[in-house]
Amino acid sequence: MLGPVILAASRSDRMRRLISAAPVTKQVVDRFIPGETVDDIVPIVEELTAKGLELTMDVVGEDITTPEQASAARDAYLELIERIAPLGLGDKVEMSVKLSMFGQALDDGHELALANVRPVVEAAAAIGTTVTLDAEDHTTLDSMFAIHEELRKDFPQTGCVIQAYLFRTEADARRLAEAGSRVRLVKGAYKEPAQVAYQQKHEIDKAYVRVLRILMEGEGYPMIGSHDPRLISIAQELARRAGRKLDEYEFQMLYGIRGEEHLRLAAEGHRMRVYTAYGTDWYGYFMRRLAEKPANLRFFARSMVSK
């Protein structure tokens, strides 16, 4: 019940100001967002990759309001790519981007977001890695898929995310499950209306399995974005039945959630990619993590009270 309330708060400027200014927020935020600057994050990239994990990097931020902020987002990714280039990690470290941070919701936002994301995709390709377009709320997805298709003409390895909770997703998965495509499947983290999305957990989980089957039986490269132990076992079984080798799909989880499971899957020989977010504009990302698990909120509330 709490989840939708927190998701509504994630879009409130008043709550953003209140929560961002709370003195104890930072220590709770650090669990999910382990740095604010490139200098903070490069050692973490080194540490995690040394443990056999792969990464997808997110410079946090979304819902920007000016073209200058969109250019700054592009530059932040370019700086990150420049800083990790000497590590020679290739596609062990890829980028995840939110097009809203690249200007998608501004005037002429579709073109602006495409113009801003393209140099990031080019820079990533130049160091042997890729970019995945995150999925945001359902109103943004036609634009996201069109940008994905456009980028794939020059950079076919560009990935995208699909969300099991949306009714449209089975059809999207069928379209995307073609040779060379990279598709991350997640349950979905936004507050969506009943006209477009399943609302009940068991319905979303069933939809996840249906879509996963389409991806596993298809020709593309499935990226299983979930911490759900049941779905992870089902994914392993579907991969086995589809005759996929261990390097023909991968698991992805968020930094700070089920860290031991990251290491366990990597030790079993799976490709395990950790979605690692950093930056100062962490509010929206952090609130979605609270909404996913009410226990996080209790922990957060307790830390506010005990100070």
For the annotated catalytic residues, the residue numbers are 134, 184
Cα(first)–Cα(last) distance of the chain, in Å?
27
Beta carbon of residue 140, minimum distance to ligand FAD (angstroms, whole number): 11
Q: Closest CB to ligand FAD among 85 and 257?
A: 257
SS3 223: strand
Asked if 187 and 229 count as a contact pair (C-beta separation under 8 A), the reply is: no
Letter for the amino acid at 195? Q
How far apart (Å, rounded) are the C-alpha atoms in residues 307 and 7?
Answer: 25
Q: Closest CB to ligand FAD among 11 and 243?
A: 11
Q: Closest CB to ligand FAD among 110 and 273?
A: 273
Beta carbon of residue 190, minimum distance to ligand FAD (angstroms, whole number): 6
Q: Closest CB to ligand FAD among 131 and 254?
A: 254
The phi, psi pair for 29, rounded to 5°, reads -60, -40
Beta carbon of residue 230, minimum distance to ligand FAD (angstroms, whole number): 8
Q: Closest CB to ligand FAD among 67 and 228?
A: 228
CB atoms within 10 A of CB 197: 22
Eight-class DSSP state of 247: G
- Which residues contact ligand FAD by CB under 6 A? 134-135, 161, 163, 186-190, 225-228, 252-254, 257-258, 275, 289, 292-293, 296
Helical H segments across the chain, by residue range:
2-9, 13-21, 25-29, 38-50, 67-84, 109-126, 141-154, 169-176, 201-217, 229-241, 259-267, 283-292, 294-305
Asked if 203 and 226 count as a contact pair (C-beta separation under 8 A), the reply is: no
Beta carbon of residue 123, minimum distance to ligand FAD (angstroms, whole number): 21
Beta carbon of residue 203, minimum distance to ligand FAD (angstroms, whole number): 12
Give 36's contacts (C-beta < 8 A, 6+ positions apart). 278, 279, 280
How far apart (Å, rounded) are the C-alpha atoms in residues 36 and 277?
Answer: 9
Q: Closest CB to ligand FAD among 16 and 258?
A: 258
- Six-digit token string for 187: 């349950």
Beta carbon of residue 105, minimum distance to ligand FAD (angstroms, whole number): 16
Crossing angle for the helix pair 259-267 and 229-241, to the nearest 10 degrees: 20
Give 4's contacts (C-beta < 8 A, 6+ positions apart). 191, 291
Q: Closest CB to ligand FAD among 177 and 274?
A: 274
Beta carbon of residue 84, minimum distance to ligand FAD (angstroms, whole number): 18
